[in-house]
Copies of this chain bind each other. A is one copy, B any other.
Amino acid sequence: MTAFAMTDLLGFAAATLTTASFLPQAWLTFRTRDVSGISLGMYSVFTLGIALWLAYGIAIGDAPIIVANLVTLTLAASILAMKVAYSARDRRRG
């Protein structure tokens, strides 16, 4: 195995972990509807940032960047949508 393949593997492992990490958060939020401790600022800025990463991947034609950020964008946007929806519900309940 060359040094090149080793660093590629490191990059793939890093991308897999950072992308997959949003799955337990999306599932926890979906299951508990507990969004008071989740930052609207974080998920607004993060979702926009991931959309730009996706655009960057498309611009340079890099399939791993496109795929990883499509998955992360779906999960981050879901968490953001739940944050907005459940915060509105919490405000109505007072």
Q: Does A2 contact B (CB under 8 A)?
A: no
Please measure, in the bound complex, the distance between the C-alpha atom of A22 and the C-alpha atom of B49, giving whole angstroms: 11
**By DSSP majority rule, is chain A's interface helix, strand, loop, or mixed?**
helix
Q: Is the CB of A32 within 8 A of B42?
A: no
Q: Which of A1-45 contact B (CB under 8 A)?
A: 6-7, 10-11, 13-25, 27-29, 32, 34-45
This chain: copies in complex = 2
- Residue in B16, B22, B60 whose CB lies within 8 Å of A42: B22
Residues of B within 8 A of A55 (CB): 10, 14
Name 16 interchain pairs, CB-CB below 8 A, sorted by A: A7-B59, A10-B52, A13-B49, A14-B56, A16-B49, A18-B49, A20-B49, A21-B43, A22-B42, A23-B42, A27-B39, A29-B37, A29-B39, A34-B37, A36-B36, A38-B38
Given contacts A13-B49, A15-B53, A17-B45, 8 further A-B contacts (CB under 8 A): A11-B53, A20-B45, A22-B46, A24-B45, A25-B38, A28-B41, A34-B36, A34-B37
